[in-house]
A = this chain, B = another copy of it.
Amino acid sequence: MKTHVQCIPCYFNQLIVTATRCGLPESEVVQMCVELGHALAEFDFSRTPAENSPFVSAIIRQHTGEYDNFVSIKEKSTAMALQAYPLLKDLVAKSHDPIAMALRIAAVGNIIDFGVPRSFDLDAELRRIDSLDFAVFDYDAFQDVLGRAENVLIIGDNAGETVFDRVLLEALGKPAVYAVRSAPALNDALAWDAVQAGLDQVATIIESGSTIPSTVLAQTTQEFRDALEHADLVISKGQGNFEGLSDTTDIFFLLKAKCEQVARELGVRVGDLILKRF
């Protein structure tokens, strides 16, 4: 999926939200926006949106002097999600269809996006979980592939969401690989975040080679590409991974369409939740 000119306001939003959260003064944030305005001339619009996001990260890193500006946010997100872990397990245990429930839980993990600075009531979200509607839900195909699968690969997304993915992997009950980014990219999970979520108890954690909030095959390690090739069931979480992998087949994309461009690519509407096999 290529970068659209309509993605530009989102880059500014990302920059402003992150810089403000890092406590930079408004005058400096404005200056950072000016710098991003200059950088736009260097953007490659034939590439995916995430591939242009390093222009944003570079400006933030330069102004904060930090390599990973999301360390504390990621830790808080994981801690919060771990508090919900017993409830999540209970939801699966009591469900008449534990696999479908675990998929819903993994979807809620993506909906929440712990990196976005707003208050949300996780308990309330979970109480509504039975009425969570998927606009696309390729569940028959999912069950079919799962039935024959000897192993599973999840391509992870945000920290915090990792705990919800752990619940999914525990419900699937297959040997699993969980892929994370190789360098800080917004609030996306790194290996340490995955370990904190307890994913090492249920999967082999690998770094994909990606250093952006997405997974672009050309940037991945041989280890990741091998895992992708040998996995019988592949689940890609979130919009960022979809942007990079939308041309790849035999993947179940589990995500909430958070913007017009991705929604159009998927043939759904903004806000729609999907489990879609490509």
Q: Which residues of A pack against B, CB within 8 Å?
A: 5-6, 8-10, 12-13, 16, 20, 26, 29-31, 33-34, 36-38, 40-41, 43, 45
Contacts and interface: CB of A to CB of B under 8 A. Distances in A.
A250 to B, nearest CB: 32
6 contacts: A5-B33, A9-B10, A9-B16, A30-B40, A30-B41, A33-B40
A36 B33 CA distance: 10
Contact of A5 (B10, B26, B36, B43): B26
B34 A41 contact: yes
Given A9-B16, A33-B37, 20 more contacts: A5-B16, A5-B20, A5-B26, A5-B30, A5-B33, A6-B20, A8-B12, A8-B16, A8-B33, A9-B9, A9-B13, A26-B45, A30-B40, A30-B41, A30-B43, A31-B41, A33-B40, A34-B37, A34-B40, A34-B41
Copies in the assembly, this chain: 2
Contacts of A43: 30
Contacts of A20: 5-6
A269 to B, nearest CB: 11
Nearest to A27: B45
Which interface residue of A5, A20, A37 has the most chain B CB atoms within 10 A?
A5
Nearest to A26: B5
Contacts of A37: 33-34, 36-38, 40
